[in-house]
Structure 1
């Protein structure tokens, strides 16, 4: 019998929803607290669903997209009745700049319209992420470069349980401005 997990999303940790059947690759239930910042405004989002146990116990994941905002995601894994009450704390980001920068230029050689993204705190790697974002019935391709806290392996990006930003890792950026890998 396949694993089933509650699925919900909301502005508080009190969200509840229907049970969903997990895929074979999704071997645990997850609850996530997301802190999304854009132009000085912060929104917290809580969600539950199926996920990969490879994400368990990794600490907060930080995605800094510079002018497009920052998302901090804390993931807790659970099974059974514990999932009803298990929520990670609302994540916080260390905003002290660390001197590392990630290029925000498009990969196709188009003119660079954005300054490099300045990394902060534990953000030690640059990644290029591409995929599709879906809001309601509207789907849009995305391509972003981000500063990332390197606690999960690059291959886990494809397993990311966040349903509203299904993305995959295109490549690790080999050279970071002002920093040797």
Structure 2
């Protein structure tokens, strides 16, 4: 890991790793919680994360697809840094108005690189990739800020989506010391 990435891991961990008593989605109680929205809401950390993603984007990327909710601010910042257009991918198409799944532009025939904040199993990314493919998009890569998946837990290889990450859970744990 480069010095810049080690510093980014340290700063994200210091900002987002909370200590206390937290009920997790599973119902278990933990004395630690990682609040990803704290780095996404911090303009300097958000810019640093997006800047670290620039060189990770596949060269053929035509559109950035920010996944609801956490991928949207990152995709917006990344779009600003690269000049690539962004679309914002809902978990499901809205039932009114345009009834679109992807807001902000057309994806038909375009190479869309998905942008996500944190990946654990990849279920949301898989669902977005499949839905965008149904709309004519070519989706084969997701670039994420943090990959916290355990080996073999990702569902993405089964749908031919590769994951590229800025940091891993191990990087953040190492930064925490």
Report the TM-score when normalising by structure 2. 0.30
More strand by share: 1
More helix by share: 2
Report the TM-score when normalising by structure 1. 0.30
